[in-house]
Amino acid sequence: MKRPAAVAALTLSLAAGLAPGTAPAASAASADGLDRFRTQPLTWTACPGLDPAPEGLECTAVTVPLDYARPRGRTIRLAVSRIRAADPAKRRGILQTNPGGPGTRGLAVPADVRAWMAPETAAAYDVIGMDTRGLGASSPLDCGLERGTWLRSAGADRAGFEEVLRMAKADADACWKEHPDVLPHISTRNTARDLDLVRSVLGERRTSFFGQSYGAVLGAVYAQMFPGRVDRLVLDSAPDPAAYWMRTQQAMGPAAERGLDEFAAWAAQHPGHRLGSTAAAVRATVEGLVRKAAERPIPVAGFHVDDHVLPLVLHAYGMDEADNALYAGALRQLLDAASGRPVEASEDLRAVLTALLRPSATGADADLSAAMATVCGDVTTPRDPDWYRRAVERSRAAQPVFGPLVNGPVPCAFWRERPREEFPEIGSDVPALQLQAAGDTRTTYEGGLGMHRRMRGSRLVTVPVRTHGVLGSPHGPCARQAANDYLRDGTLPARDTVCAP
């Protein structure tokens, strides 16, 4: 994936599965009423919405129940993709994948995964992607949202907070108006059930799984619900499942401030960007820019960037230290625009702003609908607006840029139904390989340690950099080696390890 696109995109050594196309034993599970789904025929064709499609990628549609408690009721269709094992003679089984979000489309992910696989690993697995229920090509939700994210800074004052509060309620109300019969069934538990049904339809007794970010949560939930059906499990950039969701979001604030300090130190050593001669001066430049955006939105690339949006733009650029030059370039453009100078926005800045402020141009508005439905269908969040206001105010001193961003009101506070099921309490002995970046500003390292403690059979490989999504990053050779070794022969590291810088 190109770096600007990556910035704009804000995832057991047991017996092998059956041969492809072979139905699982009839005794597997007829009591759950799903047999009619397990035997459905599949037709593999070109993938919808991917132009050009990655080489070797093919897609099919799998029918699943909307409500697993009523398997004879309404159904939905899931879009599933596949890149076949490179060597059928060495094929081990399937590797299902999820890129995170929730709300990140997954059909193209098999090509991204194959890009970091060694030849021996690529020979062993059909890599499977999926748009999760309600997303992309999988019976998508579309709430008619006009914003590309619910994560907006509460801004500098009470009026800004009230504006974000109104936006959060409007987003929740819009979704319930459009999809009141579907929203109660969009959840991580049901997505895990979808994964398991896809496994069965593909004729596999067990599945391996690779999940990044939220996808790591999904992998842990799958292992909790279906431990005997897990072959090999790779969790990349995992949050703490016990802190899911609001506390995971709040934890981004301190991590993002640390990331800003790291970037500021780098920028001070690269004076060509004219952001400041010391780290403190660079930080002061950034904080001053946020204050300017509060006074008057910054005109750039046909958009007006205010103090509700600017911190999220900075959060997007601060994700990976490999993007420091892009980050500095975007800041220089924003500073010049705020000063009234004419600015020709770079490709990456234009892409970020389009995704956030004109989401219908990219499909991000519909993707947000699925993301919101999943999170709010999983867990409850505080419903008292004053809870968020107090959290924002407490954060300002230590987190002046990002505290008001990650502590503000969210649509789940206005969700009309509570989750139909409790979110699973993760506590598993299933073997797993966990990969975590020490400076992750999205799923923090502390959160990753929480997942590691709860996945008791896991081994942790730490990469000492600032990034999110280790295997797909420029920093991943050591982690990629560990993942390939594990997927190839089932060998986990003998102990937790730290990659060399």
Nearest one of 48, 446, 22 to 250, comparing CA atoms:
446
21 vs 202: CA distance, rounded Å: 6
pLDDT at 324 over 90: yes
Q: Within 13 Å of residue 211, how many CA atoms lie on the same side as its CB?
A: 30
pLDDT at 67 over 50: yes
Give the pLDDT of residue 2: 47
> What mean pLDDT is predicted for residues 193-222?
98
Give the pLDDT of residue 401: 98
> What mean pLDDT is predicted for residues 250-277?
98
Run of H or E including 127: strand 125-130
Backbone angles phi and psi of 375, in degrees to 5: -60, -45
Task: Answer yes or no: CATH 3.30.565.10 is held by domain 18-141+182-244+423-498.
Answer: no
Average pLDDT of the chain, as a whole number? 93
Give the pLDDT of residue 27: 44
Give the pLDDT of residue 359: 83
In order of 91, 299, 321, 331, 363, the CA distances from 346 in angstroms are 44, 14, 19, 11, 21
Band of the pLDDT at 251, cuts 50, 70, 90? very high
313 vs 53: CA distance, rounded Å: 29
Report the percent of the chain where pLDDT is more than 70.
94
pLDDT at 271 over 80: yes
How do residues 443-461 score in pLDDT, each as one tens digit? 999 999 999 999 999 999 9
Give the pLDDT of residue 38: 97
Reduced to 3 states, what is the DSSP secondary structure of residue 139? coil
Close Cβ partners of 202 (under 8 Å, ≥ 6 residues apart) = 20, 42, 94, 126, 128
* 475, two tokens: 């920093």
Band of the pLDDT at 137, cuts 50, 70, 90? very high
pLDDT at 367 over 80: yes
Distance from chain centroid for Cα 282:
29
Q: Which of 5-9, 56-60, 92-96, 336-340 has the lowest mean pLDDT?
A: 5-9
pLDDT at 435 over 80: yes
Give the pLDDT of residue 3: 53
Q: Cα torsion for 311, 316, 320, 323, to the nearest 10°?
A: -100
> What mean pLDDT is predicted for residues 282-304?
97
pLDDT at 92 over 60: yes
Band of the pLDDT at 146, cuts 50, 70, 90? confident
Give the pLDDT of residue 148: 76
How do residues 6-54 score in pLDDT, each as one tens digit? 555 542 222 222 223 333 333 444 689 999 999 999 999 999 889 889 9
Close Cβ partners of 446 (under 8 Å, ≥ 6 residues apart) = 240, 251
Exposure class string for 202-212: b at 16+ Cβ within 10 A, else e = bbbbbbbbbbb
